Amino acid sequence: MASSKKLVVKFDPETPDKPSCEFLIPFISDNGEIAFLGTKSGTISHYGLVILTNRAVTEIDLFAKLIDTGRTDIDEATYLQLFSSFLDAMQKVKIGNIVEIKGSSNRQVNFNVLSQTPSGFTR
């Protein structure tokens, strides 16, 4: 079972120094693309900030967060595979990186590192 102490929170380029407390998880949009979904607001986000949490999170924890957003039309096996790939990809990014999510048709997650720090982000 994959796990990580690193997760992604919502990042707003308009206010890069403002901390966010909304976690982002991967989500398969209606058009089949993989995007970030806010666990509180249920909205899609383009950018995320990699942070360190105080405990390891597993794909089961992420699946529970997805269920908590009110989504009912989800395939458990597909999302567990997606979350496992997401947690594996988290090992390749550093805390403080600004990332956007990329995904492939076989539900493999990768990140584009857009900036090493929030203050260095330009778009």
Would you say residue 71 lies in a domain?
yes
Per-residue pLDDT band at 62 (split at 50, 70, 90):
very high
Would you say residue 36 lies in a domain?
yes
Domain interval for residue 98: 3-117
Would you say residue 123 lies in a domain?
no
How far is C-alpha 69 from the geometric centre of its chain's CA atoms?
14
Give the pLDDT of residue 118: 82
Tally of domains in the chain: 1
Would you say residue 122 lies in a domain?
no
Would you say residue 93 lies in a domain?
yes
Would you say residue 79 lies in a domain?
yes
Contact 86, 110 (CB under 8 A): no
Residues 6+ apart with CB under 8 A from 30: none
Would you say residue 68 lies in a domain?
yes
What are the tens digits of pLDDT across the range 78-89? 999 999 999 999
What are the tens digits of pLDDT across the range 20-41? 889 999 999 888 889 999 999 9
State phi, psi for 109 to the nearest 5 degrees: -100, 140
Would you say residue 14 lies in a domain?
yes
Length of the chain: 123
What are the tens digits of pLDDT across the range 89-118? 999 999 999 999 987 667 789 999 999 888
